[in-house]
Amino acid sequence: MKKERLSTEDGSEFTVFYLDQKTKSEPSGPNNFTGWLGTQELSSYDEDRYDEPEVLIDDTIQSDYVQDPVRGRLYKAKGLGLIARFKDWYDESYLVLAHHKGEFLVETSALLKASELEVEIYLKKSLD
């Protein structure tokens, strides 16, 4: 490693270090970033990797909420972002939902209508 002092236009100095070729290594970091300057090697477009948005925006409107759920129908559990099948009422405040092979409770006010795309993706994943 080579050490050197550089001067700026205002006269202040700072120390810089230059790596020798033999000590230079390719760092890798999170998200598969590689390359000396952190450049990421681009992969080909894979449509399956872009199913869901990276930024979730709560754009729920009043008509999205379910008042009278139907047993066996698919709904969305607000706050969990899961598509699940309505099984039954637990009590007057909670509902029993099933997601693939697991069951869980949600508040009655957290049940939303699922879009056609969300239902299609859920059904496709349950068949795989």
pTM of the entire predicted model: 0.54
Tally of structural domains, the chain: 1
pLDDT at 30: 52
Q: CA 88, CA 95: separation in Å to the nearest integer?
A: 6
pLDDT in tens, 38-62: 445 555 555 555 555 566 667 788 9
CATH number of the domain bearing residue 61: 2.30.30.140
pLDDT at 97 over 90: yes
Strand partners, 32: none
pLDDT at 36 over 70: no
pLDDT at 8: 85
Residue-range definition of the domain harbouring residue 105: 48-127
Q: How far is CA 74 from the centre of its chain?
A: 21
Domain assignment present for residue 11? The answer is no
Compute and round to an integer the Cα radius of gyration of the chain: 26
Q: Between residues 119 and 38, which one has the greater pLDDT?
A: 119
